[in-house]
């Protein structure tokens, strides 16, 4: 039987035409190499348009293409409260646990945390905690209410999608018990330091919603809690752009990165549970959410390639990764102005649209219109981690 590389399968699935073999990626050593927009195959006028929009919320940002810094604004070393962008950092611990063989995605959470989902005691009475898997916690389908403390379950796991801090924080608890150590220290050892993120670049606060220790171990949040500068955000995004590789080291498994940035078909079909006062607040989010990363798999952002994925926190902190354009964008600051009754993603369009349009046609890869890879490709990506042999 002939074996095809995963990149070829994905190119086939997404209709991406690869124009020759990519050169060896560049890496910051320790600073990013620099390039003028034109030398990186980008329109400087369009990039300036995106930057000017970004500055309506102040803050800092940068654009990395082909491993080179093309544009930057603001103070690259200022720390910003990232809020929910923390979720994408946190789920990286799950990637480590998968690589280490410590967990499988469809393992029940209670396997690692005997008192999982309690308090409150009413959760145990539903019988639902036994059904919740690590995958559900990472895809926002476990059913926990929004707050990051010990919240109640709102629906049977796996039947709806609901944006939550409580679910990701339970995932943090499970992984803390898997490793029996502070996941902040684990991340500095295994991910942050190897990619050049230091203690001055990123902080991770003590838990603000639950007791600060779990079985005597410092307890972190995945729902929120990280503060970082845009230099750290760009390096983190570049790790995901390079599919978990940094220089000659595999820091995360490639299959995990693929899962993180894709919407699983069984998740895409789920209804979204909106807050009572909201009207489509999250914009049919189940169709474009991977493992605690947002994505454009459903083509909601017309000018943005379908393979784009991003972390997104309150105040519009963003780490945007677009593999087909070999592009990473980082931004943090204050929230951008919203128009009344605007769609959930409308606030991103004036920023991401011009950046993507700025890429000269044919300069690297051209994405095609299929948002979800065939089931055979999904199986190829998922099989190392989900226990479905």
> pLDDT for 233-270, tens place per residue?
999 999 999 999 999 999 999 999 999 999 999 999 99
Whether residue 170 contacts residue 137, with contact meaning beta carbons closer than 8 Å, is answered with yes
Write the secondary structure of 209-256 as one string of H (helix), E (strand) and C (coil).
Answer: CCCCEECCEECCCCCCCEEECHHHHHHHHHHHHCCCEECCEECCCHHH
Q: Which helix (H) or strand (E) holds 310?
A: strand 309-313
Look at residue 315 in the predicted model and tell me its pLDDT. Answer: 96
Look at residue 223 in the predicted model and tell me its pLDDT. Answer: 98
Whether residue 95 contacts residue 120, with contact meaning beta carbons closer than 8 Å, is answered with no
Cα gap 208→225, rounded to integer Å = 8
- What distance lies between CA 11 and its chain's CA centroid? 21
Whether residue 286 contacts residue 314, with contact meaning beta carbons closer than 8 Å, is answered with no
Backbone angles phi, psi at 62, to 5 degrees: -160, 160
Q: Which residues contact 169 (CB under 8 A, 6 or more apart)?
A: 148, 149, 209, 210, 221, 222, 223
Look at residue 275 in the predicted model and tell me its pLDDT. Answer: 63
Two tokens at 160? 């709806």
Look at residue 360 in the predicted model and tell me its pLDDT. Answer: 77
Backbone angles phi, psi at 230, to 5 degrees: -70, -20
For the stretch 241-250, pLDDT in tens is: 999 999 999 9
Cα gap 290→285, rounded to integer Å = 10
Look at residue 127 in the predicted model and tell me its pLDDT. Answer: 97
List own/partner pairs for 7-11 with CB under 8 A and 24 or more apart.
Answer: 9/373, 9/376, 9/377, 9/380, 10/258, 10/373, 10/377
Q: Which residues contact 24 (CB under 8 A, 6 or more apart)?
A: none
**Strand 226-228's sheet: what is its strand order?**
80-81, 226-228, 202-204
| Sites in the chain below the pLDDT cut of 50 | 1-21, 279, 362, 364-389
Look at residue 340 in the predicted model and tell me its pLDDT. Answer: 85
What domains lie within the chain, and their CATH numbers? Answer: 34-386 (3.40.710.10)
Q: What is the pTM of this model?
A: 0.88
């Amino acid at each position: 039987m002939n074996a095809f590389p995963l990149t070829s399968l994905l190119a086939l699935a997404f209709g991406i035409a690869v124009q020759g073999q990519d050169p060896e990626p560049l890496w910051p050593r320790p600073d990013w190499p620099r390039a003028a927009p034109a030398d990186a195959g980008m329109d400087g006028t369009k990039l300036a348009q995106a930057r000017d929009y970004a500055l309506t919320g102040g803050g800092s940002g940068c654009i990395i293409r082909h491993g080179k810094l093309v544009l930057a604004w603001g103070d690259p070393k200022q720390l910003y409260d990232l809020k929910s962008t923390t979720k994408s950092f946190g789920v990286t611990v799950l990637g480590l646990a998968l690589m280490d063989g410590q967990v499988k995605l469809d393992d029940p959470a209670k396997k690692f945390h005997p008192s999982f989902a309690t308090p409150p005691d009413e959760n145990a009475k539903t019988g639902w905690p036994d059904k919740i898997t690590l995958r559900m916690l990472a895809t926002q389908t476990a059913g926990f209410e929004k707050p990051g403390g010990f919240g109640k379950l709102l629906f049977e796991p796996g039947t709806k999608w609901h944006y939550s801090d409580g679910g990701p924080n339970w995932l943090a608890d499970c992984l803390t018990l898997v490793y029996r150590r502070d996941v902040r220290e684990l991340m500095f050892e295994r991910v942050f330091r190897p990619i050049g993120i230091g203690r001055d670049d990123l902080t991770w606060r003590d838990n603000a919603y639950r007791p600060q220790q779990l079985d005597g171990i410092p307890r972190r949040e995945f729902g929120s809690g990280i503060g970082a500068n845009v230099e750290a955000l760009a390096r983190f995004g570049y790790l995901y752009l390079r599919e978990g590789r940094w220089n000659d080291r595999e820091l995360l498994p490639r299959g995990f990165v693929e899962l993180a940035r894709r919407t699983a078909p069984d998740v895409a079909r789920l209804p979204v549970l909106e807050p009572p006062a909201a009207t489509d607040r999250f914009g049919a989010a189940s169709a474009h959410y991977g493992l605690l990363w947002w994505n454009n798999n459903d083509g909601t952002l017309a000018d943005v390639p379908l393979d784009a994925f991003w972390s997104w926190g309150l105040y519009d902190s963003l780490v945007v990764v677009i593999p087909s354009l070999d592009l990473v964008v980082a931004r943090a600051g204050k929230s951008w102005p919203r128009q009344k009754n605007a769609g959930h993603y409308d606030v991103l369009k004036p920023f991401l649209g011009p950046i993507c349009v700025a890429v000269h046609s044919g300069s690297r890869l051209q994405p095609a219109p299929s948002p979800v890879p065939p089931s055979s490709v999904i199986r190829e990506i998922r099989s190392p981690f989900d226990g479905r042999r």
